[in-house]
Chains A and B, each alone.
Chain A
Amino acid sequence: MEPTAAQLAELARQLAGTAPNEIDCEAVLDCVAAYFEATQSGITPSADLAMVGQHLEVCPSCLEEFQALVRASAGE
């Protein structure tokens, strides 16, 4: 399989957001709620929670789920 230019551009976007130390998707699930509430309240996330934001830059699946959390919480 040969990736398209658009897919390579998406990969390049992920590379630009790649950090030496990252948390994985399971770890994100444990703290994404706190990250969401902090960002919704306009509070700067702690260093611990900031790693969630970094993960969302490089993981399309978790980003999709975070956006879903925003939509799901809109009516609460």
Chain B
Amino acid sequence: MMHTHAITRTNAQWLDGLQRPEPISDAVADLRDFLKRGLARTFADRRDVDDSDLDDFAQDAVLRVLNRIDSFRGDSRFTTWALAVGIRVAMTAMRKRRWGDRSLDDLCIPQDASSDAMRAAPDPVVVTARQDALTALRASIDNDLTPKQRAVVLGELAGMPTAQLAEQLHTNANALYKLHHDARLRLRAGLQQRGFCESDVRDIVYGSSND
């Protein structure tokens, strides 16, 4: 049964219904229905997500919402916050499913992949400048990062999900983010040491302002 009053509750009413040792069953059911509808819109164009998946995602999302309800700051609608939590749950599950059991050692990237950034810059001078910046970035990855930082950067570039990456590096998501942040700061410094300023880096992607 789909409950129709799910989004008419106030934040206080949601919290009153859910923030108890034994949450009110109507509130839990409303939350599950609301999350399932939202996730259905999120995955509307995905053929690899069926109704059974949506049920599972919604159920797991309800549990996650209840587990972290104390972190709701009250500066948004409760439903928006719960939906964000539900999306995190569902996306994490989908990324894990897509990634499978591949490990960091299995990462394989096609070497002949061409770059849109390169194709978008027919001017040989611009192309050369960007190639130089990319070469410097490769050198910085190889020489300026710790092995763990390099693994995080390369794993993230290959699309490896955070949960799997953290598991393989025997760390957690927050520590992984710090590793990635520290790596980015080192790479920026490494580029500067190789004669490239921040605008050069941006030009790799967006093109020079003088193009």
Contact check: which of A11, A15, A34 meets B157 at CB < 8 Å? A11
> How many interface residues does B have (CB within 8 Å)?
61
A32 within 8 A of B: yes
Residue with the highest number of chain B CB atoms closer than 10 Å, among A9, A12, A14, A29: A12
Q: Is the interface of A mostly helix, strand, loop or mixed?
A: helix
A32 to chain B, nearest CB (A): 5
Q: Which residue of B lies closest to A62 (CB)?
A: B88
B196 to chain A, nearest CB (A): 10
B130 to chain A, nearest CB (A): 8
Task: Give chain A interface residues in 21-36, CB to chain B under 8 Å.
Answer: 22, 24-26, 29-34, 36
Contact A6 B117 (CB under 8 A): yes
Contact B110 A4 (CB under 8 A): yes
Contact A61 B109 (CB under 8 A): no
Contact check: which of A2, A15, A71 meets B188 at CB < 8 Å? A15
Bitwise, A36-73 to B at CB < 8 A (1) or not (0) is: 11000000000000000000001111001100110111
